[in-house]
Every structure is written in structure tokens, then in C-alpha cells.
């Protein structure tokens, strides 16, 4: 059975909705700007691919046929931004695939980032330089406090949509979004699920998330709209983003039978582990290459069949050079002309959701014959011997595209989509 994508939903720094996302990419826009959701003026990192405030508040407009949303609002679940993003994107995907009661048997395969930490919650119970856990326990209630739990978004989605299938929460850092969609495709191909709601949601645009990443030195030190410049010779770090992309995946036959037009086929996927270092990608890109090779083998395609690569392309010095080597080694001379781009310069790095939203970006070439550009990529890096699309998108008719996602800790995944 061939798994196909029949619905998509996106929440990004461009705003709410897939068409907003597609139109913005097609226009070559960038949405990196100063952080608005908290006062970041004392932070080393002060820009992000932040979801607009009005998009976040779209949660208020969702119809509430059952008390689930009210309950989650009451327990302060929406303090965790990715819960809101995941729900908004899932509802768009669900509706765009014309899902109904029969689809409630769906499995759920979702990539979620870490718990959101609420450091200010410690303030009332912090005395004499330490946490008074006894006092903390006196505050006992069921509300989300100190940190949200990782599965909060899944709990809400399952209840709101009344999903009955098994749940997979992928926690593989920046590779998680791609792995979650690969998981969904596996379930369809095996025949162990008929429909899967899948994708990823994440937000690190909060004080602890932004601060922690800044402490690691991963973000660009420049707090400018062009802070992230993937594959550019002057690149100096990533920009943190947030949002979600969700998909409905089912078999091609099932989609046909219920009269829903597929947006893309999920042809292949492959994962590997760098097994190199905690703090850096494998410099020769060999494990990343192997993930692409596995994906192409599963897809039964030759490297020359691929017409576009959506790169992981973080804009960090080490990632981009290793990924360029991996692409060059996988595609050989085809890489001379194979268009490659990264959308992280435009919307930031969505961490656990990055693989999902970048797969959504891969629908742009398949649906509109437009290859997204690489925002802020102006000076080619001779060390990255690949054909990087510049800031402006280009028109091209391609049948097969590949998306890479590489996680902190060395987890790699590649997916191949086709018309």
C-alpha cells in the first residue's frame, strides 16, 4: 500500500494556515523578527521565528463541541505554546483531508519537543537560596506548573478529535518530525493503521528555551532578521523558531475510495545515528548520507530521480558543511545541478517540528511547481559544494523531492516524497 498525504495544516512564523505558509515561501519572505511574547532584552538571543500573537489567540475561535478544550484551558495547558500550535495545525489537516467519524480510528504519530519550563513558578517557593519542595506541594492542584508534560498536546488532540488508534510520541529532537511522518507511512504500508494523523509541534520561544539554546551557543550571535543564513559563507548560527505542521496520511486506495485527492506520495524514508559526538554532527556526513541512501532504496528511486532537496540547513557552521558533503556523496555529479534549499532562514528552526514543517514545504514544489528559496543566502560557501537556491524561490516541475532532518545527538532521517 502506498501511503499518501491527504491533508496538511501549518502554524508558522508566517501565521496560521498552509496557504499563508505556501504564499509566503513562494514570495521569498522571511519572518524572523524581535521576540514579542516575552521581554528578551537582557538575553543573548533576541530574535526568533515566532508565531504571531494573533495566530496564537486563534485557539479562542475553535468550536468546542465537547468540554475538552475548556478543561485544558482551565488547567493552563495553553501556557505550553506547542499545545496550541499542534491543535491548530491538526485541525486544519483534519478538515482539509475531509476527515470525519470514520477517520477517528486514526493512529497518532507526533513529534513533540521537551516540556515547556515555567521558571517563574518557582518564585513563590524559593527561599534561602533553595526550592522549598514542601511549600511547593502545598500549592497542589492539577494545573500545569513548573513544566508541562511532553504528551500534553497528544492528550488534548486525542480527546478533542476522539481518536481511537494507538499513539506514538516521537522524541528524537530535530529528527523527530521526519521520523513521526515516516512512522505514519510505515503504519499505512504495513496495513496496521488505515489513517494516521501525524506531524510535529514545538516551541522553544520562551525564556528557558531561548536562554538554554543561547547558553549552548547554537543561535547566531547577531540579533538581526537575517541571523540565520543557511549554506552562506558568513553563516554563524541558527535562529529558533516555533510552530507545527500536521498531516493526514492514509493509503492511496483509501483516499481514492473516499474521493480525496492526495497531495503527495510518501515514497521512502531512512534513519541513522551519527554515533559521533553529542555536541557536533559527524563531519564527513556519512551517517546522514546513509539515511538518504536508505530512503532512496525504500522509494525505489535513483539519486538522479530527485528534483529538489529541502535541506536540514540550520545555518550553523558545522551542520551545513557536513550536510553538503552528505548530499554530494549521495548524489555525485547530479548534485551539481540538484536544487537544494533550507527554509530555516525564513521561519527559524522548529526543533522537534522542523522535519514536519519542512515536509510541508516540500508540498510547494509538488503542488505549485515552486521550489522554496533559502532566505538570507547571499554568498556561496565554497566548502558547501551543492547547488543552493538563493533567496528567491524558483519555478521548476519536479516529481520527486527529498527532505533531510538531523537531530541534536546525531539522529538523522531522510524522507522522499513524490507526486
Partner 1 sequence: MNQSRRPVFVSGAAAVSAFGFEWRGIGAALKEGRVSFSHSSQLADSHPSILASEVPAIPVSIDAANAKAQKLMSRAAHLATIAVQQALADAHWEDNREEIGFYAGVGASGGSMVELTEMLRASIVEHQFSLARFGSAGLAACNPLFAFQLMNNFTLCHGAILAGVSGPNSAFYSRGNGTVAALFEASHAIAEGDCERALAGGADSAVHAVTWAELKREGYARNGFVPGEGAALLALSASADNALAIVEHCAFGNSLTSDRNDLDKLLMNIDITEIHSVIIAPWGTPARQTLRALTETHFPQASVLNINEFLGDALAATPALAWVTALDLLQTEEINKCLILNAGIDGGIGAVLLGKTSRHANIMEHGQ
CA distances from 264 to 1, 185, 255, 309, 370 (A): 14, 12, 12, 15, 15
Measured from the CB atom, the residue of 174 and 361 that comes closer to partner 1 is: 174
At residue 36, the 3 state secondary structure works out as: coil
Q: How far is the CB of 137 from partner 1 (least distance, A)?
A: 6
Instruction: Give the Cα-Cα-Cα angle 394, 398, 400 (nearest 5 degrees).
Output: 130
Measured from the CB atom, the residue of 212 and 225 that comes closer to partner 1 is: 212
Q: How far is the CB of 409 from partner 1 (least distance, A)?
A: 3
Backbone angles phi, psi at 208, to 5 degrees: -70, -40
Measured from the CB atom, the residue of 86 and 211 that comes closer to partner 1 is: 211
Look-up: residue for cell 488534548?
Answer: 156
**Of 145, 193, 203, the residue nearest 167 (C-alpha):** 193
Under 8 Å between Cβ of 139 and 124: yes
Measured from the CB atom, the residue of 126 and 305 that comes closer to partner 1 is: 126
CA atoms within 13 A on the CB side of 404: 32
Q: How far is the CB of 382 from partner 1 (least distance, A)?
A: 29
Cα–chain center distance at 302: 26
CA distances from 115 to 146, 148, 171 (A): 10, 5, 11
Q: What is the DSSP letter of 145?
A: B
Catalytic residues: 174, 312, 349
CA distance 279 to 297: 30
Q: How far is the CB of 350 from partner 1 (least distance, A)?
A: 15
Measured from the CB atom, the residue of 43 and 252 that comes closer to partner 1 is: 43
- List residues bridging with 395 in a β-sheet: 370
CA distance 204 to 93: 23
Instruction: Give the max Cα distance, the chain.
Output: 66
Measured from the CB atom, the residue of 24 and 206 that comes closer to partner 1 is: 206
Q: How far is the CB of 141 from partner 1 (least distance, A)?
A: 7
Parallel/antiparallel/unpaired status of strands 107-112 and 126-127: unpaired
- List residues bridging with 137 in a β-sheet: none
Under 8 Å between Cβ of 245 and 266: no
Q: How far is the CB of 182 from partner 1 (least distance, A)?
A: 9
Q: How far is the CB of 367 from partner 1 (least distance, A)?
A: 27
Measured from the CB atom, the residue of 190 and 234 that comes closer to partner 1 is: 190
E strands within 137-234?
167-170, 195-203
Amino acid at each position: 500500500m502506498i501511503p499518501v498525504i491527504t491533508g496538511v495544516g501549518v502554524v508558522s512564523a508566517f501565521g496560521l494556515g498552509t496557504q499563508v505558509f505556501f504564499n509566503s515561501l513562494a514570495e521569498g519572505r522571511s519572518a524572523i523578527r524581535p521576540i514579542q511574547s516575552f521581554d528578551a532584552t537582557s538575553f543573548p538571543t533576541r530574535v526568533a521565528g515566532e508565531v504571531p500573537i494573533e495566530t496564537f489567540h486563534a485557539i479562542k475561535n475553535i468550536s468546542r463541541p465537547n468540554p475538552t478544550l475548556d478543561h485544558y484551558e482551565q488547567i493552563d495547558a495553553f501556557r505550553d505554546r506547542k499545545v496550541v500550535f499542534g491543535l491548530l495545525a491538526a485541525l486544519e489537516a483534519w478538515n482539509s483531508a475531509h476527515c470525519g467519524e470514520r477517520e477517528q480510528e486514526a493512529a497518532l504519530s507526533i513529534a513533540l519537543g521537551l516540556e515547556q519550563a515555567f521558571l517563574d513558578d518557582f518564585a513563590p517557593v524559593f527561599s534561602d537560596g533553595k526550592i522549598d519542595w514542601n511549600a511547593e506541594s502545598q500549592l497542589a492542584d492539577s494545573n500545569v506548573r513548573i513544566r508541562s508534560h511532553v504528551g500534553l498536546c497528544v492528550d488534548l488532540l486525542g480527546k478533542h478529535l476522539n481518536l481511537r488508534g494507538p499513539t506514538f510520541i516521537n522524541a528524537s529532537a530535530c529528527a523527530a518530525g521526519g521520523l513521526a511522518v515516516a512512522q505514519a507511512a510505515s503504519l499505512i504500508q504495513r496495513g496496521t493503521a488505515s489513517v494516521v494523523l501525524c506531524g510535529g509541534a514545538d516551541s522553544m520561544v520562551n525564556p528557558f528555551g531561548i536562554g538554554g539554546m543561547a547558553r549552548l551557543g547554537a543561535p547566531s550571535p547577531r540579533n538581526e532578521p537575517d541571523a540565520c543564513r543557511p549554506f552562506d559563507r558568513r553563516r554563524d548560527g541558527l535562529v529558533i523558531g516555533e510552530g507545527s505542521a500536521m498531516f493526514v496520511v492514509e493509503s492511496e486506495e483509501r483516499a481514492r475510495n473516499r474521493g480525496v485527492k492526495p497531495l503527495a506520495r510518501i515514497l521512502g524514508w531512512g534513519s541513522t545515528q551519527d554515533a559521533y559526538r553529542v555536541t557536533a554532527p559527524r563531519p564527513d556526513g556519512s551517517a546522514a548520507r546513509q539515511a538518504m541512501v536508505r530512503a532512496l532504496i525504500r522509494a525505489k528511486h535513483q539519486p538522479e530521480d530527485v528534483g529538489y532537496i529541502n535541506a536540514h540547513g540550520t545555518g550553523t557552521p558545522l551542520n551545513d558543511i557536513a550536510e553538503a558533503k552528505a548530499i554530494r556523496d549521495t548524489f555525485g555529479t547530479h548534485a551539481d545541478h540538484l536544487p537544494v534549499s533550507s527554509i530555516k532562514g525564513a521561519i527559524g528552526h522548529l526543533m522537534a517540528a522542523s522535519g514536519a514543517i519542512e515536509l510541508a514545504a516540500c508540498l510547494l514544489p509538488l503542488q505549485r511547481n515552486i521550489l522554496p528559496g533559502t532566505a538570507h543566502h547571499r554568498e556561496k560557501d565554497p566548502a558547501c559544494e551543492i547547488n543552493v537556491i538563493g533567496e528567491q524561490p524558483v519555478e521548476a516541475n519536479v516529481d520527486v523531492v527529498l527532505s533531510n532532518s538531523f537531530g541534536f545527538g546525531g539522529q538523522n532521517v531522510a524522507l522522499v516524497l513524490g507526486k
